Structure 1
């Protein structure tokens, strides 16, 4: 019983931590900012020429995701004070609306 309780606590801890926004290893020394754009919350990590943006919140339907690329790009610009270079958006996974990277023109 004690072993299963400890296992449950460990798994719960990992699940809670997985919901946190952390940057990719190459962005660890970047500036972190929280932004809300049109009611959607983002965590933005940026340095002088690049931004990584994490959309906070849960599951979104396909229709709800349609507006995310424009908002995630705007969050990068607002947080960094720089212009996002058009066409520079990349995602960890094709079609991922949760994390995106941008090149910045500062």
Structure 2
């Protein structure tokens, strides 16, 4: 279902790009269309294949909003809001625990400010 939605949005973006390119042959419109397409894709909550199809739990921590998915003893937190400030990894750590009901194993947090991964210690499956 998400793939179909993505393909529809990609087709719509391609149509917008074609329209803007036709309006301005200087290349400025093409660059604008590409920037708009990247901005739209940047706000997506598209998980890695290992997490595809798993339900996401939205958690907000100190102004950062994450879509958190659990796959066994691992979790993925995707930041879904735009921000540029320090501490995103720490806020993702805090978001993962209530969303999964598990504790993040120390030293297992990895990724970047957009997508964070962690290994979990869970008492229940």
TM, length-normalised to structure 2: 0.64
Kindly report structure 1 stretches of 4+ aligned residues shifted beyond 6 Å: none
Higher strand proportion: 1
Could you tell me which residue of structure 2 aligns to residue 30 of structure 1?
Answer: 54
Shift of 1:78: 1.0
Q: Deviations over 1:76-98 (max 9, x none)?
A: 1010000000000111xxxx211
SS in 2 for 1:31: coil
Could you tell me which residue of structure 2 aligns to residue 105 of structure 1?
Answer: 121
Q: Deviations over 1:43-101 (max 9, x none)?
A: 111122111011122240xxx21x2222101111010000000000111xxxx211110
Higher helix proportion: 2
The count of aligned residue pairs is: 95
What CA distance in whole angstroms lies between the structure 2 residues aligned with 1:53 and 1:14? 20
Q: Runs of 5+ in structure 2 lacking a partner?
A: 1-16, 22-29
Q: Deviations over 1:16-51 (max 9, x none)?
A: 244211110111132311101122211111122111
SS in 2 for 1:26: helix
Q: Is it true that 1:73 corresponds to 2:89 in the alignment?
A: no
TM, length-normalised to structure 1: 0.74
Shift of 1:14: 6.3
Contact 2:50 2:71 in 1 (8 A): no
What CA distance in whole angstroms lies between the structure 2 residues aligned with 1:47 and 1:28? 10
Q: Which is bigger in relative contact order (C-alpha 8 A, separation at least 6)?
A: 1
